[in-house]
Amino acid sequence: MVGLFSRTVVAATVRMPKWFVGWVSRRYVAGSTLDDALRIMKRLSSEGACFTVDVLGEEISNMDEAQFFLDEYVRVLQAIRSSNLDANLSIKPTAFGLLIDKEKGMANIEKLVRMANEQNMFVRLDMEDHRVTTDTIQAVIDLHKQGLTNVGTVLQGRLFRTLDDINYLETELGPAADYRICKGIYLEPEEIAYTGYQDIVDATNASIDRMLAAGAYCSIASHDLPVINHATSALESFGMGPGIEDPRTNSGDARDFKGPGYEFQMLLGVRGPLRRKLAAAGHRTRVYIPYGEKWYEYSIRRLKENPTVGAQVAKAFLMPWTNRP
Ligand code: FDA
């Protein structure tokens, strides 16, 4: 159940002037251009972080817009390589046209993943709402079967189906499966997802255990201590942790074998001290870097989809000591 405070924050935010929303969101969005994203990554590199870049956008309404995303991600790929940054790509399958024309959408995704493969760069298919869960997972499996193993999926702890999805991915891809596990930002119906905080934490933690048991690479994307603490103990019980090299840097051809291994991932601007503490302890940490012209539309839509995000942003703004960038 979404609290009154969260709904009030969302109602107030959509009425606020764009400049004010922009001022608040400066901390969570790198800026409107690729140069902004590159600048932030160069700065945060000194904190021991690596990155994944997200070009912001609304769900598209025609395939011309999909072409924009494809072109922009190619620019990002080239810029990451020429700047020598430790970064990869996070893409939203619907921005490539998956919900408009599945075949063309998949062809667009494949084009980018193929180009990234030539540059030995990893591409993460972000997980959107339940309309595209099955297709997104299948897309990753199909790409692997074509030899494009530089791609991985995201699973959402809140969905009832997630443990079955891990089993399916393990059967199809074995340890080459490369996961990001998160709670899931979309407030899904109670018929298919957990809705209470503790249930979501427990299910997310169970997924982490299952991914590690499968010997796959597991990116833990959370700022929540009960998830992070569970992950660090689980890693220990699987003989992983600081001091053990990332198998991707040491496995010869990093594209052929990725697991076992892990990293922690956090959003730009959220719980920086916690991320820096994990990095200082020797854990690999990755920051999700969103940028793009459509930062305003994207922020407002996200707030409406999940009003608790609005409450978290308001809390960070009004009580900065609870969440520093
Ligand atoms: P929780 O929401 O309980 O947050 C813990 C604390 O962190 C909060 O109390 C607050 O202090 C802070 N916090 C968290 N989010 C904040 C925010 N936006 N602004 C300000 N403070 C915040 N989801 C999805 O459905 N598909 C996906 O592909 C991804 N990808 C993804 C990548 C990365 C790198 C991350 C970190 C997250 C995602 N997510 C996602 C989002 C994820 O599912 C989830 O909604 C958020 O991470 C919030 O959940 P936490 O586990 O952080 O816990």
Same domain, 286 and 256: yes
What number of H helices and E strands is found in the chain? 13, 8
Q: Which is more confident, 2 or 126?
A: 126
Question: 156 has which bridge partners?
Answer: 182
Same domain, 141 and 8: no
Tokens 């591409």 correspond to 123
* Long-range pairs, 272-280, Cβ under 8 A, ≥24: 272/47, 272/324, 272/325, 273/324, 274/223, 274/225, 274/228, 275/47, 275/49, 276/47, 276/48, 278/228, 279/47, 279/48, 279/49, 280/48
Same domain, 179 and 233: yes
Tally of CB atoms within 10 A around 82: 9
Q: Which is more confident, 116 or 261?
A: 116
Same domain, 150 and 218: yes
> Would the CB of 24 count as within 6 Å of ligand 1?
no
Same domain, 24 and 34: no
Q: What is the tens place of the pLDDT at every residue in 255-287? A: 445 678 899 999 999 999 999 999 999 999 999
Residue count of the chain, please give it: 325
259: CATH: 3.20.20.220
Is-contact 307 2, C-beta < 8 A? yes
Residue closest via CA to ligand 1's atom 26 equals: 127
One-letter amino acid for residue 162 of the chain:
T
Closest of 11, 30, 79, 100 to residue 293, by C-alpha: 30
Residue 106 lies in a domain: yes
pTM, two decimals, is: 0.93
Residue closest via CA to ligand 1's atom 50 equals: 222
> Would the CB of 124 count as within 6 Å of ligand 1?
no
Residue closest via CA to ligand 1's atom 8 equals: 312
User: Residue range 283-297: average pLDDT?
Assistant: 91
In sign, the C-alpha dihedral spanning 50, 86, 185, 258 is: negative
Range of the domain at 313: 1-29+304-325
Residue 297 lies in a domain: no
Q: What is the tens place of the pLDDT at every residue in 124-155? A: 999 999 999 999 999 999 999 999 999 999 99
Same domain, 147 and 238: yes
Question: What pLDDT does 285 receive?
Answer: 95
